[in-house]
Amino acid sequence: MKNSCFYLLILHLIFISCGTSSDIELPSPEALTVSERFKNPIGFYDSIPDFSWKLPTSVQGQSAYAIVVASSLDLLEKKPDLWKSGIVKSDQSLFVKYEGKALTSRQKVYWKVKFWDNKGKESHWSETAHFELGLLRNSDWKGKWIHIPYEQLNETDYLGSLLFRPQYIRKEIQIPEDVKNARLYITAKGVYEAYVNGIKVSDDRMSPGWVPYRKYIPTLTYNLSKLLKKGKNTIGVVVAEGWYAGRIYLRKRKKTHQETPSLLCQLEIEHDKGKMQIVSDEDWKVNQNGPIRVSKIYDGETYDANFELGEWNKNNYNESGWSNVQTQALDSAVLLLPKRFGSVKDKEIIEVKNITQPKPDIAIFNFGQNNVGVPLLNVPMKKGDTLKVRFAEMLNTDGTLYTKNYRSAKSTDYYVAAKDGVIHWRPSFTFHGYQYVELSGYLKGEQPQKNWVKAIVQYSDFNSNGTFSSSHKKLNQLQSNIRWGLKSNFFDVPTDCPQRDERLGWTGDAQVITPTAIYNADMYAFWTGYLQSMRFEQIKNGSIPKVIPSNLGNGASTGWGDACVIIPWELYFRTGDTNVLQENYGMMKKWLEYYARHAQGNIVETMHAFGDWLQPFASLDKKGQEGRRGDTPKNYIATAYYARSVELTYKTALVLGKTEDANYYKTLYDAIKNAFQKRFYDNNGKTKHKIETQTQYLLAIEFDLITDDLKPKVYKHLKRVINDCDNHLRTGFLGTPILPFALDKAGETDLMYSILFKETYPSWFYSINQGATTMWERWNSYTHKDGFNKQGMNSFNHYAYGAIGQWMYERIAGIKPIEAGYKKIEIAPIPGGALTSAQASYMSPYGEVSSEWKLKNGVFELKATIPSNTTAVIKVFGNTAENLILNGKSFVENERVKLTNKGGEYFELLVQPGSYVFETKH
């Protein structure tokens, strides 16, 4: 008896020392961000920010939170002076709106958060996060635009237009005391690189980027506290034409003095005895006779080492031969706004795979991967010789560069050597789309080496946000092609292609790729920046230009202009942030007004449409070539997209609490649906148009434009027209992205798998079989049998058809949101085709979601991870007459996993956060 009491006492003490579950301290919140997932930003744009955080993976959920915000670290700990939220009973951990004192330009703000879990247990405070605002108003800027004097602009380029050589601009300054804090606020009409005492202030490239410059210009902020010192310092900036004054933006219009690239900057310094401010004004010096002789986005860059300026960006430089800058006052009509997303940066390096020499003294370097950026050159040269650097995505049959698809873009760099030896150089203010680099003009007799060239891959500064892989080699190559297509075309704006004389922000391409882009990369801020430009570019009549920034006129196209509705909705649904809807709601409404003016009886008859662009096997045009706009009628597409935009605007109004608007748009949506079905379908669910297309049926199904009683008949016709094409797609830029989702709704997922795994034209794998390493503009831009497509439009880096990536994540891997922001998640992979396994992960706003399945020996295994503060519906496909296995044991309901449906082809479960392994007989 004594021994039993002793053991009970020991067990009691052990229990006390370990603590009950309610005594265990909660870890702190993690991954604190503001607004569109910015971590401790400087030069921030948002004076009324939102706060977000993630719960530790060990925590199931949140029942309350508290946020404190202060103007200093000391006040944050002792007496927060900007905002104390108090204890807010809510599970909200994303986009909590700041409700404190008004914030102003330059202000640095500190904040932290803690939470209470779903059992009421309080966490520790998080680590301190912070953000610092940029200059928010034009009145904050005290300087002027500065540039080369107009009278020195007396050269013309090969097009007969005014030649803008890159400008080298400098100023020496004196700082009387040790520097405590320093900020450089800077922007350009053009693109720039800034230096302090010879050191580049940032790894940004092509800043400030491409926007509607006549309406607003983005500004950037850099911390120079460690670069500046007591005494003499030199600020140096190179300014080139970039997009602002290049033909990419001006197109065929001749340049004038008004387009002269210019610099605006403001250096604010806090030192031991006070503050000082240096601005761009008349006291700066400029020289356009530097080594970068020409730099153009389409045509490339020329660097002549004989014109090098020595240590021009350092102290005590001899400025003889330099001019005083010319100044221009700020234009109050052009807003200066802090940039809302990351600049382009050098992101990756690719090594040469092999070298060929189609002709003597010409070497072609193959990187094995189509990409975008600039080359890094280390090439032996003779003094006075010119190295010619050409680029191509493909080779001709004779091994030479195929550049016909670049059209008028010369895409050629030159380097003139000032001495014998190995030159080390990279272009600064251009970029190229290429897989192959051709060199000529290197030292004669030298055998080309792989280390002569490296590819610096450049794109806007975002990171990977998801992964996808499978048991199928070509499907994995397709995923790689999708990712490279995205990286190659997200170069400050979402371009259609990165190589030819286009590289424009086509809205139609953008709206179809947005979900796929978000699965693959953390791009929320990038897209909100694009929408900002779209709002500025919207025409007074409500139309949305076909490219953003707009440089092709004001004409709108249905399916393209709808990006102003579709992209905000997709961003909201995948992030949970209502701000993106609020910001763009006015634009969405004006777009619908534009539609209404082109509608007769709710059928849009008179609106321009690019159609189902590049539909394969389209009817021949007058030249005997396939029509680029496809065979789906324009009024059909226009009315379908009108309905779609009205529906999403109706949903947006509901989210924003605009009940009256929501009722109006719901009534309008129903009226358009009724008119659409009556106009375009007979009672047998067949389209009335003389030419049936897959896209007609796909739009009707995916946009839910037909009544429930007619849907089975429409499904049958869709299946028939696909079967008539030997289960191949016949869809273009608008039909292809919705093909898999419409087939899912029609209960034809197996048919979609069949289409996806086709090897023959037209199909995703067909391009891969021809050697594609990115997405192509046409399925057959090139074939081994026939060579290059003779109808043109042969971009080998065009992301639109990569929209299939969304279905790969959502259906093959089975990850998608049910509620906005992944507050509720679905994991429901459906095996199909030749696949025996697939896996995907996605960093949702709440944390990582993952799904991994394999099918082996008749057993289907599904591994799933659900992040904290969410719930998930998991559908495990298999024989529901057999037992379901969970984590190695027969399934028994518990507080974390509830069976909500059993029957048919899957078990449906409601699941709390955690990691799970399910097994079923298949």
At residue 466, what are phi and psi to the nearest 5 degrees?
-160, 165
Q: Where are the beta strands (DSSP E) in 412-526?
A: 412-416, 421-425, 432-440, 453-460, 466-470, 490-491, 493-494
Alpha-carbon gap, residue 341 to 320, rounded angstroms: 40
- Is 848 buried (19+), middle (13-18) or exposed (0-12) by CB count in 10 A? middle
Q: Is 822 strand, coil or helix?
A: helix
Q: Which of 391, 280, 278, 268 is nearest to 330 (CA)?
A: 280
The amino acid sitting at 892 is V
Bond before 176 cis per omega within 30 degrees? no
- Report whether 489 contacts 495 (CB < 8 A): yes
Contact 743, 697 (CB under 8 A): no
> What would the DSSP string read from start to end of 715-754?
HHHHHHHHHTTTT-----TTHHHHHHHHHHHTT-HHHHHH
Q: Is 777 a known active-site residue?
A: yes
CA distance 15 to 757: 58
CB 294 within 8 A of CB 163: yes
Distances (CA, A) of 76 to 81, 110, 125, 251, 826: 8, 7, 11, 53, 40
- Residues 707, 700: contact at Cβ < 8 Å? no
Beta partners for 352?
A: none
Q: Are 440 and 362 in contact (CB under 8 A)?
A: yes
Taking residue 506's Cβ as centre, other Cβ atoms within 10 Å add up to 26
Q: What is the DSSP string of 673-713?
A: HHHHHHHHB-TTS-B-SSS--HHHHHHHHHTT-S-TTTHHH
Q: Which two tokens stand for residue 121?
A: 């247990």
Residue 853 — left, alpha, or beta (φ > 0 → left; ψ -120 to 50 → alpha)?
A: beta
**Among 552, 553, 506, residue whose Cα is nearest residue 530:** 506
Rounded-to-integer distance, Cα 539 and Cα 212, Å = 13
Please give the Cα distance from 518 to 525 (Å, whole number). Answer: 11
The CA distances from residue 25 to 54, 60, 113, 330, 585, in Å, are 17, 14, 16, 56, 44
Q: Are 395 and 454 in contact, with CB atoms under 8 Å apart?
A: no
Q: Which of 193, 692, 777, 919 is catalytic?
A: 777
CB 775 within 8 A of CB 802: yes
Which one, of 649, 651, 614, 573, lies nearest residue 810 by Cα?
Answer: 573
| Beta strands at 300-304 and 412-416: parallel, antiparallel or unpaired | parallel
Which tokens sit at 31?
Answer: 């991954």
Catalytic residue among 502, 537, 570, 861: 502
Cα distances (Å, whole numbers) of residue 443 to 48, 253, 377: 59, 40, 14
Q: Does residue 77 have an active-site annotation?
A: no
DSSP state letter for 405: G
Residues classed as catalytic: 502, 777
